[in-house]
Structure 1
Amino acid sequence: MTYSIADRVVRPPRTARSGAADRSAGDGRWVPFLVFLLPMGVALACVLPGIGHRQLWRDEHDTWWASSIRYADLGLLIQHVDVVVAPFYALMHAWTALAGTSPAALRLPQGLAMAVSAGLLGLLGRQLFTPRTGLVAGLLFALVPTVTRYGHEARPYAFAVLFSLLATLLLLRALERPTLKGWALYTSAITLTGLSHLVALCVVAVHAVAVLRARRGGDHVAHWAFGCAVVMGTSAVVPMIAKGSEQAGRIAWHNATVRDLTTYPMELFGTWFSGAVVMGLGVVGLLTAGRKAVVVPAVWAVLPPVLAFLTSDLFHLFQPRYLLFTVPAWLLLAAAGAVRCADALLAGRTGRLRRVAGGVLVTGAVAGFAFQVLPALATARQDLPGEPDFAAAGRIVTVGQRPGDGIVYNGDFGVRKAMAYELRESARPKDVLMKLTPQQTGWYAADECDVPADCLVGRRRLWLVSTAAGSTRSGMSASTGAALAGRFTVVHTKRLHNLTVQLLERRNR
């Protein structure tokens, strides 16, 4: 008897199918909807409240700036910096044209991405383990403080989580029931993963492990389909990778140390409690759940941070927010460990009573976790502690300005860009020292006057916004400081969190 390759793709050998898939075959039709919708609903309840309350911080100001300038100016910007997040900027450019640029509008796509990720994690847990494990994993994901933290951030990390989850789920389903459509969807998901954040492409190495196991199980086609999918899926991001390697100097300040490794669990999950619980249960799941089921989440949880740490001196990528896409893997292991613990406690019981009691135990554990992390969820909605209070500075300038006022800036934290955001909806004072705009320079920063005294001619009042520690003019160029000191006097000073606003008036001659 002979059969074609197409027949083999449609009907793979029985041994290539996962045991978890067989166990889930008897689920009622409502089960997939439950394991998707319930975690997504809880995630929405955790992430959406207060999504616009926290001030934007410096990286989010970059997102606003890049999504507000013309596409031509955006093209010039990514020639110099941030080409690796250019797809995200293009997406946000289109989004802000429809939704506006308020903090809530800028963050809503990320909040929704986190909510959908919770549902996808539920489905992935069902695929790898059981529906109950998937449901627990999705619920725990919704409650992790960093899910709310980065669901409240106008940066691409939530999309990296979303698309890495989607790619993994599509791969497992393509291995279970191979079709051309299934592999095409997986290829698209790989592309989206790379476009969301290059580091998230580490998940492809995890997928290779799953494909290798399928081949050992008798599927002799999967590795060819997988190879084609990876080549086609990553081809769209190769130019971005090449250009991004030239711009790596922007994050070269971060060289990982042993201290970064020791604080990694807390920073990845948001608190020491959540990190200890998730990783502790994850180890239990790793040791007690079926070996075939835990291989994918185990490699997913460990391989990317290990690679990032070992290569940190070269690529500088060991930062927890870059590795946020590994959180679902830990939660899969933790959920498997929690379910195993519940089953062990009820080992003497059988039948429906055992299932009900096990459900009560697991539900109680999730509720206890939720109770413990509630304060951290509230903290995730607050202003970042080290960031200046630019919102208050914007209100001061907006209320106190007069026609003809000018404004000057000093310090770090992208003060000019941040104040441009806070004053975006008002007729803000003229930036008197700016010679070339950021659009003209192709950076986030502007070029200032060569002779500051000449640029201050004709100004009666100036606002000085400074993030410098100590004196408001610390770190200012000598020529700018001399021009201000010789021609203006301070008439009002307002000190805010990590920020000072001064009103200067020209001296009478």
Structure 2
Amino acid sequence: MTAYAQTPQTDPEQPEQHQEAEGRAARRRADSGGGKGSALLVFALPVLVALACVLPGLGGRQLWRDEHATWWASTLSWHYLGQLIDHIDIVFTPYYAGMHLWIAVAGDSPAALRLPEALAMGISAGLVALLGRRMFAVRTGLLAGLLFAVVPAITRYGQEARPYAFATLFALLATLFLLRALEKPSLRDWTLYALAIAATGFGHLVAMSVLAGHLGLVVLAKRRGDRIAHYAFAGAALLGLSITLPMVAKGSGQSGQIAWNTTTTQDLVDFPQELFGSWITGGVVMGLGVLGLLAARRYALLLGAWAVLPPVLTFLTADQLHLFLPRYLLFTIPAWTLLLAAAVTRLTGRLEPEARPGAVAKAVGGGVLVTAVAAGYAFVAWPAIGDAKKDLPMEPDYAAAANVIASGEKPGDGVIFNGGLSERRAISYELRDRKAPKDVLMEWTPQQNGSYGATECGQPTRCLKGVDRLWLVSTIADGRPPLTGADKKKAAAIDEDFKATRTVRLNRVVVQVLERK
């Protein structure tokens, strides 16, 4: 009777449980010995590749509107930053506070503003590799990390002063801590998991949807006989969520700030291209990633929920929450690359730590496969990586506009703005280290308003008195008069008292010199 009860443990007809036990034992042996060197190599190679893609040209592309908002908020005094987040963008409070400290040390050049994000993306590539190594095999982790490193969108948002790279980093850390806690439970790992969940929410609230995949993994652990996993997970998750709860509660009242984001069916069609940076790179990863669900076995639920559930939920709730934006969902790319790596490396044998006879031959074959697939994908992705470093074509060329003003500005000049693309904030950034004309129509500053926008003078004729020369910066650059859409009093005062003596048309922005008649 006893012998019969033990038979299923080694029955070749039911190998999966035995295989998982061997896999866990092999990972423990690897982690306790020379495997640490293997882990370091698996982590370091994707990090270096990612940084090789992201760091060159880090400051070459000029900042766009959202990055100007980062600069503006992060350079405010603590008092004015507090007023700002009390009205808007409270969900970015930790990021702005961190960037405030960073700018005090590193400065506010484009490269300096983006360096933290670039480093976060580099580390994320290494964490993807470590996850793949822990879940499947060394070759799987290495391939997943390298694929992640050369995704064009990783370069794009690794060169952007916004918090999406950090949301990706912390989602990866949370997943790694969860796997460690489930494999060998400890108070330290569950505490680190809770803190990583909180940090994920501080990176971006949408990234907390990675918890759905985590829950699936915990449910499977419970079914396999783990009696404490679900209790420990519930406690850690609730702790992490409670840390972010005040921010979430306050942020729910500020949701109108993204109401501009209306979603259509075409946005869903374009999602692979927008998420990955090009159609071919997104199509390859998502197409083969679906096949990876068959190879991922016990991790299929985790990776499937991580990759698919966030975009589905944000699309279905787009009319209410307005959160279906590819950059908000950047944290799902690691799951897709892990699925693709699992599908590809399954071709060279079972996805398990190399601790069996013939492991050397498999390792060589796996190394060749990893190199070939990663190099092929990098070759295909390289043009899109180059495009990711260029100025955004739909954004005004504020750097050139600022150069026009700086080269022709005279004492006593004023500057005015028209359009709806954050012209005042952008020109303030581009002229931050140079003498700028007085903003003659600004009556209440953004700091005083506790917002990103200023309040302009209600009596333009009075505010323009004594100014004989104006610089008009307008994003009405489609051939219509530059003051199209301006406040009627403002347009009338300028038309009555000033005439245009010079017009410079740039990409999506017009600079005019107006002199008093």
- TM-score range for the pair, normalised by the shorter chain length: over 0.9
Matched, 1:302 2:312: no
The aligned counterpart of 2:5 is: none
Instruction: Note the C-alpha offset of 1:354.
Output: 4.7
Distance 2:139 2:424 in 1: 51
Preserved CA contact (<8 Å) 2:142 2:370: no
Amino acid aligned to 1:68? T
Among 122, 128, 131, the alignment partner of 2:135 is: 128
Shift of the 17–365 alpha-carbon distance from structure 1 to 2, 3 Å rule, reads closer
The aligned counterpart of 2:341 is: 335
Preserved CA contact (<8 Å) 2:262 2:319: yes
The aligned counterpart of 2:298 is: 292
Distance 1:351 1:245 in 2: 53
The aligned counterpart of 2:3 is: none
Matched, 1:471 2:478: no
Among 411, 435, 446, the alignment partner of 1:403 is: 411
Among 434, 448, 459, the alignment partner of 1:440 is: 448
Instruction: Note the C-alpha offset of 1:203.
Output: 1.1
Distance 2:205 2:19 in 1: 30
List alignment gaps of at least 5 residues for structure 1.
1-13
Report how many aligned residue pairs link the two structures: 489
Amino acid aligned to 2:24? A
Preserved CA contact (<8 Å) 1:407 1:464: yes
Taking the TM superposition and a 5 Å limit, the aligned residue runs for 1:171-190 are: 171-190=178-197
Shift of the 88–483 alpha-carbon distance from structure 1 to 2, 3 Å rule, reads same
Amino acid aligned to 1:433? L
The aligned counterpart of 2:217 is: 210
The aligned counterpart of 1:387 is: 395
The aligned counterpart of 1:277 is: 284
List alignment gaps of at least 5 residues for structure 2.
1-16, 351-356
Among 203, 228, 232, the alignment partner of 1:196 is: 203
Instruction: Note the C-alpha offset of 1:351.
Output: 6.4
Shift of the 156–20 alpha-carbon distance from structure 1 to 2, 3 Å rule, reads farther
Matched, 1:21 2:29: no
Distance 1:386 1:255 in 2: 18
Partner deviation per Cα, 1:426-453 (whole Å, 9 max, x = no partner): 1211000000000011111100011101
Shift of the 351–407 alpha-carbon distance from structure 1 to 2, 3 Å rule, reads closer
Shift of the 223–123 alpha-carbon distance from structure 1 to 2, 3 Å rule, reads same
Matched, 1:259 2:266: yes
Q: Secondary structure at the match of 2:153?
A: helix
Identity %: 55
The aligned counterpart of 2:150 is: 143
Instruction: Note the C-alpha offset of 1:353.
Output: 4.3
Partner deviation per Cα, 1:64-92 (whole Å, 9 max, x = no partner): 00001111111111121111111111111
Structure 2 length normalisation: TM-score? 0.92
The aligned counterpart of 1:90 is: 97
Instruction: Note the C-alpha offset of 1:395.
Output: 0.9
Q: Secondary structure at the match of 2:433?
A: coil
Distance 2:274 2:393 in 1: 15
Distance 1:458 1:290 in 2: 72
Distance 2:279 2:349 in 1: 27
Distance 2:211 2:23 in 1: 21
Among 112, 122, 142, the alignment partner of 1:115 is: 122
The aligned counterpart of 2:14 is: none
Structure 1 length normalisation: TM-score? 0.93
Distance 2:292 2:19 in 1: 23
Preserved CA contact (<8 Å) 2:139 2:370: no
The aligned counterpart of 2:321 is: 315
Amino acid aligned to 1:181? R
- Alignment root-mean-square deviation, CA: 1.8
Instruction: Note the C-alpha offset of 1:190.
Output: 0.9
Partner deviation per Cα, 1:98-134 (whole Å, 9 max, x = no partner): 1111110110000000000000111100111111100
Instruction: Note the C-alpha offset of 1:213.
Output: 1.2
Amino acid aligned to 2:298? K
Amino acid aligned to 1:381? K
Amino acid aligned to 1:408? I
Partner deviation per Cα, 1:331-388 (whole Å, 9 max, x = no partner): 10000111123559xxxx9664454234213311210111111110010000111000
The aligned counterpart of 1:431 is: 439
Q: Secondary structure at the match of 1:435?
A: strand
Among 441, 447, 459, the alignment partner of 1:451 is: 459
Amino acid aligned to 2:378? A
Distance 1:353 1:292 in 2: 26
Shift of the 350–218 alpha-carbon distance from structure 1 to 2, 3 Å rule, reads closer
The aligned counterpart of 1:500 is: 510
Partner deviation per Cα, 1:198-225 (whole Å, 9 max, x = no partner): 1111111211111111111111111111
The aligned counterpart of 2:423 is: 415
Among 228, 232, 235, the alignment partner of 1:225 is: 232
Distance 1:312 1:487 in 2: 47
